[in-house]
Every structure is written in structure tokens, then in C-alpha cells.
Structure 1
Amino acid sequence: MSQGARLEILGPFQVTCGGRRIAVSTGAQRLLAFLALHREGTHRRAAAEQLWPDCTGCRAAANLRSALCRGRRLGSAPAIDTADRSLALTPSLSVDFHEAWDSAHRLVSGLAPVVDGERLVAVLSQVLLPGWDDEWLLLERERWDQLRLYALEALAQRFQTEGRHLSALQTALAAISIDPLRETAHRIAVEVHLAEGNVACAVKRYLEYRRLLQLELKVAPSPLLTRLVRDLPRT
């Protein structure tokens, strides 16, 4: 582990410095997480208004000053830059979300080789700050979910192309757990089963997905997915 400070917001909030966990007040946690999701920085007023939307302007500004006082340094390491009226995390503070976001983008672009794909699946399976219900977090969580869905699907397709059927199937299932109604990962799972010769598993996956769509949305799977099982040889 690096001896510098590290902020983790994929999964439960955590800050470590020199490998040791640091206790951080609730207000400072919110501020650090907010700044982690605004990598280019943000104006003080915007941060105060979004973090404390139910407070008056004066009260929100006071809350921000308190959070800033408690979160500006993590142990002996600086954590927040306060240039002019802007706030941003210091470049020396490593953030797991930034690493995961960049990895997911490279994966979706298809421009970078995949290194340690199984570890990447575990990272992309992480929920952004589970249990937090702050309004400012809702859109950011949706953006993360959409990016990691595309990344997991791209990774599952790579595994499938390489003939790594178990990895492809597990990655597709990780994507399905994020959005069970989305078809792409179900189609990959069906294709993997067929590539392995597991016709019954492929048909079962298709039928389960069809039932789910009918129950939730009253629609049917796409013709592309349906053809995969419709055109199977019959005895």
C-alpha cells in the first residue's frame, strides 16, 4: 500500500494514510466524496448549496467551513486545495473511483489491453457509496452505473472472444446484477452457454429473461436474442 493518503468511495467510505484508517467526521466525508466526484474542482458556494440544500445560505456556508476545517488534511497529508473561491482534492490524494473510472473508459474505448481482467470485474462491481441517499449523489451514481455496465459488457465480450467462457459468464452476470432488464449481458450469457454446448442453460437463460421482461415491462426480447435460441437444431 502507498504511504500517501487514499480515499475510497467505491463501497463504504474510507480514508487511509500510510496504510492506517483515518476517522473522518460526517461533514468532511460528504465534502471529500463530493470533491472526488468533481475532479476539476468546484466553487465553494456550489459545494455548500448541493451538500446542504435544506439549509439557508449562511448555515450551508458555515457547515462547509466546518467540514473544510476537518477534511483539509488527512493525517499529515494535505487533502483539499482551496485556491481563490474554488475547492478541489489535492493531486497527491489517490482516489479509487478515479482509477476505476479511467480504467472503465479505456476498456469501453477498446484502445488499451486488459490487464488482470478478473480484478477489474471486482472493481466494476462496486457500488458508489452504498447507503448514502444524498440528492447530489443520485446522478453521479447513475453515471457510474452506466459506465460500468458498458465496461463489464465490453470485458465479457473480450473474454468470450478469447474463449475464456467462465470469466465471460461471470462478467456478464456482474453486469446483469446492475441492470437485470438490460439485454446485452443476457445475450452474452446465452452466447457463452451455446459456445460451450450447454443448450439447456442457454434456453433457460433466455426464458428467464423473457419472463422478467413480460412481468416488468410487458415487452419481449429483441429478435437478435430470440434468434439465438429459435434457430437451435430440434430433434
Structure 2
Amino acid sequence: MSAGVLIRRLGPFQVLKTGSPLSLRSGGKAEQLLSCLALHPHIGIHRETLVERIWPETSLGPAIQCLNTLTHSLKMQLADALGGQPPIVHSESHYALNLDGGVRVDVLEFESAIETGHRLHSEGSTGAAIKSYERAVDLYRGDLTPAPDISALLERERLRAACLTTLARLADTHFGVAAYDRALETALRLLAIDPCREDAHRMVMRSYVRLGARAQALRQYKLCRIILDGEFAVAPEPATERLFRLIRTDPGQV
């Protein structure tokens, strides 16, 4: 059982208390508050910004009272999983998640796992790097839950790009250690998120060839052409065309 409190923003919003989902009303004020704070876990958010987002039609005084009531309610629900500490702390008029007290955010753990994977890979610890990359992509249960501001939209796209890049690197790493089935699985997972990624199509083609499934590799090329034509009305990149010709004429060199 996981200790502490984990706020999940990758995929459907969820709060886990010692590993078990906490019952919160979907789209309710508690979810809005924790979701907003989880977008800025290190720096927190000013009180007036919070109440404007969560209680936009309430005057400042009553809205602040609502905020104080809500933070107290969340303390009552979660403090026992945090050694008695509150999940939200505030200094003067600034509110933030109590990261030091045991509150965790999946976005932070996702990015930390990627950074650790990069470091381990650069040190030559390939097996440990693979485990760290796999932890990162497992944490990515879906795109960042929607929020009504541009900064959240930009963050959503940044994290999505980080996941896709990590999946591509993980597939390359698996291929480099001759784990062709894992490389194939990872590249297909990448394509399930972004079917237009030609590097992933090429990895699928190469993996199929190494697994002895040349015909499937050729079919993957055809699928790649269909997707790109339907989405953008463009042909595959020269690198994809070269790989296709090599698979057709000399698959032993793939």
C-alpha cells in the first residue's frame, strides 16, 4: 500500500489516499482546488487567483471563507495519511500543496522518472534506464486533465510531447539490446497516441523484420502511407521510403 496522498492529473483526475481512491464529486470544488494546485505544485497559487477560478460569481470575502472551509475539510479527510499534516499549506495569501508533508503529484513523478532514465542511460546503465522510462510511461495514463486556461493547455501539450519522446527513446533502447518484441510493443503504444509519428512506424517495421515478420513490416509501411495521406495529404519521409525499399530488397540489412 502506497503511503501519503497522490494526486493524479495525467488521465482522469484522481486522488489516492494510501493507495486507495478518495471519493470526490467529479468537477466539484475539492477537485477544482486540488487540480489547480497540482498544476503549480512547487510555487502554489495566490489566494485571489484561486477564489476567482473556483468561485467566480462569489464576492471576495465569502469566497475566501469558502476556500478556508474547503481546505479544512480536505485536512480532515487526508491528514491521517500525512502524519497529521494538512494536504494544503498557505503562507499569508499563497496556497500550495504540502509536498514536504507527503503529498505527491503524478506529473512530478513522471518528469522525475524521465530525468532519471536520461541520467542512467548516459551513465551506461541501460537496464536501469529502461525501468525508469517504463515507470514514466506507466504514470502517463492519458493527457493532462482539462483546465480552462491557456497555460494549462500548453502544459498538456508539453507533457504529451514528453511522453511520446520517452516512448520513442524506450523503443530505441529496447531495440538496441535486441529486445525486439518489447521495441515493437512500445512503438505500437506510441502510435496508439499519435498515429502520425513516422519514427514509430519505422521502429515497428524494423522490429517486425527482426522478429521474422517481413510481410507485416511491409503492411506497416502501407498503413503509414494511408494514415499520412488521410491526415495531411503527404507522402512518407525519405527515411521511411528507404527503409521500405531495404525491407523489400535486402531485409537482412535492416
- Is 1:10 matched up with 2:17? no
- 1:172 alignment counterpart: 187
Of the candidates 26, 35, 38, which is equivalent to residue 36 of structure 1? 38
Residue by residue over 1:46-92, the C-alpha shift from the partner in whole angstroms, topping out at 9 and shown as x without a partner, is 3344456x646638656644543433451433211111221211121
Shift of 1:3: 3.4
Match of 1:100 among 104, 110, 114: 110
Secondary structure at the aligned position of 1:114 is classed as helix
Aligned equivalent of 2:232? 217
Gaps of 5+ in 2: none
Following superposition, the deviation at residue 231 of structure 1 comes to: 2.9
Question: 1:187–1:116: structure 2 CA closer, same or farther, 3 Å change rule?
Answer: same
Task: Give me the whole-angstrom Cα distance separating, in 2, the residues matched to 1:188 and 1:68.
Answer: 48
> Residues of 2 paired with 1:79 and 1:174: CA distance?
35
Residues 3-22 of structure 1: CA distance to partner in whole angstroms, max 9, x if unpaired? 32332333333323344443
Distance 1:48 1:140 in 2: 22
**1:102-148 CA deviation, whole Å, 9 max, x = no partner?**
1123335644732536953751551145xx54324433322221110
Q: Percent identity?
A: 31
Partner residue, 1:90: 98
After alignment, is 77-86 or 41-50 more displaced? 41-50
CA contact (8 A) 2:114 2:136 kept: no
Identify if the C-alpha distance between structure 1 residues 146 and 233 changes in structure 2 by more than 3 Å, giving closer, same or farther: closer
State the alpha-carbon separation in 2 of the partners of residues 177 and 81 from structure 1: 39
CA RMSD of aligned residues (A): 2.9
Return the structure number with greater helix share: 2
Q: Is the 1:22–1:75 contact (alpha carbons within 8 Å) kept by the matching residues of 2?
A: no
Report the AA paired with residue 106 of structure 1. T
1:45 corresponds to: 48
Matching residue within 138, 148, 154 for 1:135: 148
**Whole-Å Cα distance in 2 between the matches of residues 197 and 152 of structure 1?**
23
* Inter-partner Cα distance in structure 2 for 1:215 and 1:18: 46
Judging changes above 3 Å, is the alpha-carbon distance between structure 1 residues 47 and 106 closer, same or farther for their aligned structure 2 residues? farther
- How many residue pairs match? The answer is 232
- Look up the SS of the partner of 1:148 in the other structure: helix
Range with bigger deviation, 69-78 or 88-97: 69-78
Q: Distance in 1 between matches of 2:111 and 2:65?
A: 32
TM-score, scaled to structure 1: 0.83
31-40 or 169-178, larger mean C-alpha shift: 31-40
Match of 2:74 in 1: 71
Shift of 1:155: 0.5
Distance 1:101 1:82, change over 3 A: same
* CA distance in 2: counterparts of 1:232 and 1:5, whole angstroms: 50
Match for residue 217 of structure 2? Answer: 202
Q: Which whole-Å deviations, capped at 9, do the CAs of 1:144-180 have from their partners, x for residues lacking one?
A: 2111011111101100111111111111111111111
